[in-house]
Amino acid sequence: QVQLVQSGAEVKKPGASVKVSCKTSEHTLATYEINWLRQATGQGPEWMGGMDPKSGHIGYSQKFQGRLTLTRDTSISTAYMELSSLTSDDTAIYYCARRRSYNYTLGTLDYFDYWGQGTLVTVSS
Amino acid sequence: EIVLTQSPRTLSLSPGERATLSCRASQNVSTGYLAWYQQKPGQAPSLLVYGVSSRGIGIPGRFEGIGSGTDFALTISRLEPEDFAVYYCQQFGGSPPFTFGPGTRVDV
């Protein structure tokens, strides 16, 4: 059973940073790309970025470039997302998700197959 | 950036009825890169369909995905009580960002 377990809710003031953790198995962290997404109330999920498990290369949405940092600690099988310079627009539920990507006869298949339970980040003065 | 538009935004149906949800992309999306997710209140999205038409693990046969190019659809043949939820289409495209549609709410 694949599990991604995220850290608890956070309340931050504008201008602060938040760091959310996503604990999974050694196998998942070493084999699959862990991506981060967020979802504001009443909206669809928004992709933020993801880390390649082999190279450590990180792909970011341009919207978050300069504010978003993705890291991992393989010794405890945990991925991290840190977002800085928070504003009220960053209030949302943040999710980690495992990206499954592989070749098949007609091309490449790509999807998010397992998600964490979500972490509510509230930015308020 | 590929923009996904979903319609209708809300679908009011009864158990046993058929639901058809539409997803239109602003550019062509390769077959392998189009997925559907279901989200129930207070829960994370969960994978329903990937590669346009392949069902995820444990997803019942009443969920069917079809489409190609820019037009895709998810059909639920006979709605069960647990199917009333919000459904999102999502694309990976050729490069980031990987976008989601705004969702279709299926309610009673």
Mean pLDDT of A83-94: 98
The pLDDT value given to residue A104: 85
The pLDDT value given to residue B94: 64
Residue of A34, A109, A113 to mutate for B, most B C-beta atoms under 10 A: A109
**Closest-CA residue of chain B to A47:** B98
Residue of B30, B59, B89, B98 to mutate for A, most A C-beta atoms under 10 A: B98
Is the per-residue pLDDT at A121 higher than 90? yes
Give contacts of B 7-66 with A, CB under 8 A: 30-33, 35, 37, 44-47, 50-51, 54, 56
For tokens 């499954």, the residue is: A100
- Taking the Cβ of residue A84 and every Cβ of chain B, the question of whether any pair is shorter than 8 Å is answered with no
Mean pLDDT of A77-105: 96
Mean pLDDT of A37-56: 95
pLDDT in tens, B43-100: 999 999 999 999 999 999 999 999 999 999 999 999 999 999 999 999 997 677 899 9
> Between chains, do B88 and A62 touch, taking CB under 8 Å as contact?
no
pLDDT in tens, A16-33: 999 999 999 999 999 999
B96 token code pair: 């980031």
Q: Across the interface, which of B32, B44, B45 has its CB nearest the CB of A109?
A: B32
Residue A3, exposed/middle/buried by CB under 10 A (0-12, 13-18, 19+)?
exposed
- Distance, CA of B108 to CA of B105 (rounded, Å): 10
Whose CA is closest to A24, among A15, A33, A16?
A33
Angle at A87 between CA A69 and CA B43, to 5 degrees: 75
Q: What is the mean pLDDT of chain A?
A: 95
Angle at A48 between CA B75 and CA A44, to 5 degrees: 35
B54 token code pair: 């392949």
What percent of chain A is modeled with pLDDT above 70?
A: 100
The pLDDT value given to residue A27: 95
pLDDT in tens, B18-48: 999 999 999 999 989 999 999 999 999 999 9
Q: Note whether B79 and B19 are within 8 A (CB).
A: yes
